[in-house]
Structure 1
Amino acid sequence: MEKHRKGQHDGKIVYFPNLTGKLVNKGMSALKQKKFKESLDYFEQLLGMDPEHPQGNVGVVLSLVELGRLKEAKEKCDEVLKKDIGDYYDVLQIYISILIQLGDYEEVVEILEAVIQEQSLPPQMAENFYQLLYFSRKMAEEDSEEGVVFSQRAKSISDKELEHLSNQLQSEDSKQQWQAVQSIESPDEPTIRKELIKYLTYPEANPSLKTIVLQMLKESVTNDTILVHKFGRSMEVKPNELHDIPDGQFYRLVKKIIVHQLEQDNPTLLDMAVQIWDHYLFMIYPFQPEPLNEQLWAVAVLEVAHRLNGIEFDGDELQVAFSLEEKAIENVVEKIMEIEQISMKDLGVNGDTPN
């Protein structure tokens, strides 16, 4: 590797000013252009200069993933986590993604259960981790018991165990509720299913866990009509007829506007804005956003993303272009901020959670 330097002092290499920044920019540009061998080369040059550079380490991992070198990516990402380089949760998300691609579902379950038990997840990542844990547990179960019919796997539950489960689900402590939900292996067992259906109507129930429960019931072999209560709204649904999250034309239209506004100028803020949009839909599921105006919701999400990052957002041009009223935008912004604040309160200092 060629050494870019302007001289040596006491045997130490002195690099040209801002060379690390230039390598970061070149590496990121190559990633965006899908030139993954080039991006890997740039990021490895960067680590040769600064072995603990956060963007350099993540860049190497992402390049290896895109090149299909998943085992190397896993080893590198594991190293980055252990050395606590960069943002822990951002790196953890990448690591979990690699494990899933490798089919290491049991390791995913082990990691996520430990992290979630700490009750310290950033709100914008919590729901994604909940979903990944549930998915990985199902996949790990299928891997270990492939070919065994569900009725053979179903485990009976004692009266004492059922009472404990019911008490946990009715607790005002979200941690107790989560422990109950994540302990369930057979949601189709009649007595357990009955408790889960009741959970969806509890005023103290965590709204994100209600979404997880709905996903569990969605895979059920029965087609009951059940009542769901969230955020002061109620509706009857048939779980196995529910749409996936996120999904649907309205979701895609809002996301398209967000991507158009941020993709070129601020891809980092774009990632957060999409997470905010996904998070909101996850929390209110199975309800739809109101009103169903994609321009209104896109502008509101952009406003919230800027606020949470301490950046001023000038949405006047969009407001005029989409013929939106300022009051309507602020009303939707308040709805989104309410969801974010609930998550922060619930994950930080367990408190009362509206549903």
Structure 2
Amino acid sequence: MLKKDNVVVFPGTLDGLIESGLDAIEDVDYDKAVDVFGQAYHFDSENTRLLAPYAVALYETKDFEKAKEVATKLLHSGATDYLDAMELYLAISIQLQHYEEVEMTIEALLDEEIVPTDVIKKFNYLRDLNERLFNRYERADKEPVISHSIISINEFKEWTLEKQQGLLATYEQGSLKEEIINFLVAVVSDEEVPSVVITYALVLLSNANYEEPVLVRKFGQAKEVIPAELELPGHGSVTDAVIERMTELYEKDPSRLQMAIDAIKRYDVVAYPFKWDGFSIVEISDAYMEYIESMFSGEPMAVNELNSVIRSIDEQTDQ
């Protein structure tokens, strides 16, 4: 029997909670899993049966602070594969924006040759993702943004990506004046502007309920859209359907699933509003599964239009 806070837990009760939590994980009911595992964790926070699934459930429900606490215990428990536990710990740390810790940890693992050659690619992917996010969110804060409310599109194109995004961020509050609307329309129509900045400008027009048609140019393509009628990137019906199928395909592999979701959402942001026009949900999800597996195996993807687009988007985000 366990006793804590004057409460006695009878034999079998803790095991029942853990089994219920594992069933919830299998049913992809992470909220229930967090609730059940949380009860078990309260009474026995060192129980090695619950640490890994509890950390995964907390990650999925975006309680990253608690997830890191549990993942730290998992790492020190020695009860599971160390690299699997470390991969989960690093994924959580990236979500918490602990970028320097992630970089130093992966560097130490690689320098000490702890990571076998067959999984080095996975840790290099985490390292690259961490660096991209660090560049986007940390270094951008250190570069001053010119406080002009409006500039010419030609001057704007000479700025760094961080400066461009910083200026657009100043337009998020309040209603947009006509000259700013016109400037944003010019941004989305200019293919020389970085794709993610075009997406940002288009989202601002959508949020402003702009109902006039605009011509969006990306990747040598042009598409006329009405911003007010667009689904926002990252949450469109096609994106949600692809992620739902990837969740089914990688039901028992949360690490690969998270890598796939990150790649899908990255595509959705960079390519927006072009989406995956002309491809079915099955074709898209199968292509992303092939892409993720190729990262682990080193085997090249089949040469076709969809695979080329997926690789192209990821290469852009690596720059």
Using a 3 Å threshold, how does the CA distance of structure 1 residues 267 and 234 change in structure 2: closer, same or farther?
Answer: same
Residue in 1 aligned with 2:315? 341
Aligned residue for 2:212, secondary structure, equals coil
Residue 227 of structure 1: how far off its partner (Å): 1.5
Gaps of 5+ in 1: 4-21, 67-72, 96-119, 131-159, 316-325, 346-355
1:147-226 alignment to 2 at 5 Å? Answer: 161-162=148-149, 169-184=156-171, 185-186=173-174, 188-226=176-214
Q: 2:280 aligns with which of 293, 300, 311?
A: 293
**Contact between 1:44 and 1:56, CA under 8 Å: does it hold in 2?**
no
Tell me if the contact between 1:211 and 1:283 (Cα under 8 Å) persists in the aligned partners: yes
User: In 2, distance between residues paired with 1:201 and 1:291?
Assistant: 23
2:318 aligned partner, one-letter code: M
Letter of the structure 2 residue corresponding to residue 29 of structure 1 = L
Cα deviation digits, residues 266-287 of structure 1 (max 9, x gap) = 2321232233222212221111
Q: 1:274 — aligned with what?
A: 261
| SS of match in other structure, 2:273 | coil
Letter aligned with residue 246 of structure 2 = I
Q: CA deviation at 1:340?
A: 0.8
Secondary structure of the structure 2 residue equivalent to 1:234: strand
Asked if 1:40 is matched to 2:38, the reply is yes
Inter-partner Cα distance in structure 2 for 1:303 and 1:314? 9
**Separation in 2 of the partners of 1:295 and 1:248?**
16
1:122 equivalent in alignment to 2:129: yes
Tell me the equivalent position of 1:138: none
- Match in the other structure for 2:249: 261
Q: Distance in 1 between matches of 2:272 and 2:315?
A: 17
Aligned partner of 2:271 in structure 1 is 284
Assess if the C-alpha contact under 8 Å between 2:55 and 2:68 holds in 1: no
TM-score normalised according to structure 1 size: 0.54
Cα deviation code 1:40-71 (max 9, x no counterpart) = 25545775489xx99588469569x69xxxxx
1:303 alignment partner AA: E
Q: Which amino acid aligns with 1:174?
A: L
Which residue matches 1:90? 92
Shift of 1:301: 0.7
* CA distance in 2 between partners of 1:197 and 1:229 (Å): 11
Per the TM alignment, residue 195 of structure 1 is displaced from its structure 2 partner at its CA by 1.4
1:230: Cα distance to partner? 0.8
Shift of 1:248: 5.5
Tell me the CA shift for residue 296 of structure 1. Answer: 2.4
Change (3 A) 1:88 1:267: closer
Q: Deviations over 1:172-229 (max 9, x none)?
A: 5211111111122346211111211111123332212211211110122542221211
Alignment partners' CA distance in 2, 1:248 and 1:258: 15
Unpaired runs of 5+ residues, structure 2, are 4-14, 72-85, 98-126, 138-146
Structural mapping, 1:21-36, within 5 Å: 29=22, 32=25, 34-36=32-34
* 8 Å CA contact retained: 1:77, 1:91: no
Superposed CA deviations along residues 11-45 of structure 1, whole A, max 9, x for unmatched, are xxxxxxxxxxx9xx979726516344441255457
Code of the aligned partner of 1:233? Q
Q: Which amino acid aligns with 1:122?
A: L
The CA deviation string for residues 118-170 of structure 1, in whole angstroms up to 9 with x for no partner, is: xx9828995xx99xxxxxxxxxxxxxxxxxxxxxxxxxxxxx82455857632
Q: Secondary structure at the match of 1:122?
A: helix
Displacement of 1:288 in angstroms is: 3.3
Instruction: State the secondary structure of the residue aligned to 1:235.
Output: strand
Q: Where does 1:66-77 land on structure 2 (aligned, <5 Å)?
A: 76=66
Q: CA RMSD of the aligned region, Å?
A: 4.7
Aligned residue in 2 for 1:332 = 306
Structure 1 residues 304 and 187, CA gap change in structure 2 (3 angstroms): farther
Percent sequence identity is 17
Q: Cα distance 1:58–1:233, how it changes in 2: closer, same or farther (>3 A)?
A: same
Matching residue of 1:102: none
Q: CA deviation at 1:251?
A: 3.8
CA contact (8 A) 1:224 1:239 kept: yes
Instruction: Output the CA distance in 2 between the equivalents of 1:188 and 1:218.
Output: 11
User: Bigger relative contact order, structure 1 or 2, given CA contacts below 8 A and separation 6+?
Assistant: 1
Given the two structures, how large is their TM-score scaled by the length of structure 2?
Answer: 0.59
1:30·1:39 contact (CA, 8 Å) conserved in 2? no
For residue 202 of structure 1, give the secondary structure of its aligned residue in structure 2.
coil
Q: CA deviation at 1:171?
A: 2.5
Paired amino acid for 1:279: R
